[in-house]
Amino acid sequence: MSYIEPAPIKDRENPFESMMSRFKIASQILGLDDEVYNVLKTPAKQVIVSLPITMDDGSINVFEGYRVIHSNILGPSKGGVRFDLGVNLDEMKALAAWMTWKCAVVDIPFGGAKGGICCDPKEMSPGEIERLVRIYTLNMIDIFGPDRDIPAPDMGSGPREMAWMMDEYSRAHGMTINSMVTGKPLVLGGSLGRVEATGRGVMVSTLSGMEKLKINPYNATCVVQGFGNVGSYAALLLEERGVKVVAISDFSGACYNAEGINIKEAIRYRDQNEGILSGLPNCDPIDPEEILFM
């Protein structure tokens, strides 16, 4: 039996402290009462669970799972579940708080939450991931619910994982409960456009910022760090609006073309290459760290 240890966090990189420093500045600008500030700086609920599953080789690994509900004042809490080796409690606390702020500033009746499992999904088979999703859901059976806390896809998870989550939750309740999760497949009641939604949000925010800065999209170049669900759609949608994407990167490396990268071809190459961007034709390989300095 082995235990997957969450990655340690250095103080200067602590995502919760980073969030709190920004929240403090915002609260001062807003003139927030101390009582309200003190309520909002602490998560409403923090859940940590051990998740033992049988691996394909017959061994048992124990993973650590989290769910943090930062606030449910405005309504049921809402937030993704990520599968990544960097998952830890401070990251979940920070991301849950950011979900609270995001829901509040656009005035929708949800609070903020975030969940995750410390694992490397790229090193796991579909069967192992399914067993992990199902035991995580069972451990959160009293936390999740359409009127309590609604999970969603995040880093390392997607419609497939949400379908397993919905199925396990529904089995435990003896009836189909589609509304306990978002980001599920269309056939299970998912929403059209959900897969592209986050990348579309990046595009909309980027163009809004460019307009404020008086940058013409048709004369602009950009780079996109990350080429998963969010980055690839952000790049594609920016390209469709006239922005020249000259560099993209993922965990496998970074690619550069001063004349612009054909994003549809890049997505096709990635999908045919087991999700790996490295080796993209008609591009020069560059150091991934260089991409943000272009």
CA dihedral 188, 191, 197, 198 (to 10 degrees): -40
CA distance 20 to 4: 28
The three-state secondary structure class of 46 is strand
Catalytic residue among 114, 122, 184, 264: 114
The token duo for 61 is 């690994």
Residue 264 falls in the annotated catalytic set: no
DSSP strands (E only) in the chain: 2-3, 45-54, 60-71, 77-84, 111-118, 149-153, 221-225, 244-250, 253-256, 284-286
CA distance 216 to 250: 27
CA distance 116 to 4: 13
Active site residues: 114
